[in-house]
Amino acid sequence: MKRALRYSFLLSILSALLSSCASAPVEYDKPEAEAVTSSEIITIAAVGDVMLGGSATPELEKYGYDYPFEKTKYLLLGSDLVFANLEGPLTTRGDENVEKKYKFRTPPKKVAPALKKAGITVVSLANNHTLDYGEQGLLDTMAALDENGIAYAGAGKNNMHARTPAILEVKNTRVALLAYSLTFPEAFWAKQNTTGTAFGHLAHIQDDVSRASNMADIVIVSFHWGREVTTELRPYQTTLGRAAIDAGASIVLGHHPHILQAIEQYKQGVILYSLGNYVFGSYSQKATRSVIAQFTLKNKRLTALQLIPINVNNVEVIFQPAILDQEQASSVIRELAILSRQRGTTIENNNGVAVVLLNNNQP
């Protein structure tokens, strides 16, 4: 009953806040030159939740923090840009949030270099674990990422900082990432003068994406949203995901449910409602299958999307995700195709790789 009331309360908050604008629009610095267009092909890889701690700690201390990526990093290193959702601060300091049941913290000097070596170039910090160890934990996280050349978005010293996009130069193309959290605790949402995550106000998203699209050739939006371990979408996920594309985004990446959810092509963009887990320090048997998404863009337009199913059942892979064999991969693709068909999107199985059939003629 308490859990049901909690979700009901969240929905009431979201209904009230989605159309609100609690602070002034973010003013971004104008780039010195107009965004450069390019006919070069850009490849982007995206994975789900990454948390190199918890139950994985003994294995990581034994085999090293590069260990989780050994069987899949070749899929990341071959891409121009690689996204992940970083769950939990990279810190050994900070005040523990005693009110939360699950708190994550991982060693910055071990985790940040491992992410870099695995090919991860940009992460979202907009999630419900970013402030598990308070402001100090977040500051340490940003410092560790900066030191290792990994970009980030979705959290900051105040709301305007949290809403500022990460801008990456890829070949001759400028890519912007914005990230938002729609998950509790509410105390983690940044305010005008407080550290935290960017909450996904509808008006903020529309304004931020529009501005980012004037600065960059490609805009990606990340959302930490929805309900854990269910494929059922909350109505606001569709509202916000489509709003981001209407405002100028090409790719919307979702996470928090820990399992895969539907994929939807909307106009010239695509929404992956949940990427599931990637490397996550838990033996949960509710999150055992995931994907690595690979996007291809040309002339700033999404031209192809494929997904490689992976085994993230840590009882079997011991915190080292592995590519599924064709039979097991086909089972994942079949389930994902059923979910996505309900969103008007077709997915085909190409020898164990999911191929999203994009209609590039959509308005």
pLDDT in tens, 213-268: 999 999 999 999 999 999 999 999 999 999 999 999 999 999 999 999 999 999 99
Rg for the chain, CA atoms, rounded: 19
Query: One-letter amino acid identity for 252?
Result: V
- d(CA 96, CA 19) in angstroms, rounded, equals 33
Question: Tens digits of per-residue pLDDT, 45-79?
Answer: 999 999 999 999 999 999 999 999 999 999 999 99
Greatest alpha-carbon pair distance for the chain in Å reads: 55
Flag whether pLDDT at 194 surpasses 90. Answer: yes
- Going by CATH, does the domain composed of 32-356 fall within 3.40.605.10? no
- The residue ranges of every structural domain in the chain are 32-356
pLDDT in tens, 72-126: 999 999 999 999 999 999 999 988 886 778 889 999 999 999 999 999 999 999 9
Tell me the C-alpha distance between 165 and 186, whole Å.
22
User: How big is the chain, counted in residues?
Assistant: 363
Rounded distance, CA 113 to CA 140, Å? Answer: 14
329 burial type by CB count under 10 A (0-12 exposed, 13-18 middle, 19+ buried): buried
